[in-house]
Amino acid sequence: MQSSARQIIFIGRVQGVGFRFTAHRIANRHFLTGFVRNLYDGSVELLAQGRPEDIDDCIAEIKEALPGYITDTKTTDLPPDPRHKEFKITF
């Protein structure tokens, strides 16, 4: 299984709307590892690790689940980090 990692910054009205809990549920359904957390500038950071197609499906599903809240996303490819064994909400 080829593993990849991506950092996705979700911009918009993404805090205080259940975003992290929704992202956590969806990421677990796609068997991803990593985390989701609020950032101080009002955006949300998601670090997703797993198969590239699972990461793509997870991001698409998050956007579908929260229409109207996300105005932009910024994506960065990263090397996988073996320290992430599960998907967590961090605060």
> For the chain, which residues make up each domain, given as ranges?
4-89
Predicted local distance difference test score (pLDDT) of residue 91: 82
Q: 């994506």: which residue's tokens?
A: 75
pTM of the model: 0.94
Mean pLDDT within 49-61? 97
Per-residue model confidence (pLDDT) at position 37: 98
pLDDT number for residue 2 = 65
Residue 28 CA: distances (Å) to CA of 12, 42, 57, 71, 89 = 23, 24, 12, 24, 11
pLDDT at residue 48, rounded to an integer: 98
Q: pLDDT tens digit string along 72-89?
A: 999 999 999 999 999 999
pLDDT of residue 1: 52
Which residues are catalytic, by number? 20, 38
Computed on alpha carbons and rounded to an integer, the radius of gyration of the chain in Å comes to 12
Per-residue model confidence (pLDDT) at position 45: 98
The CATH number of the domain covering residues in 4-89: 3.30.70.100
From the centroid of its chain, how far is CA 10?
Answer: 8
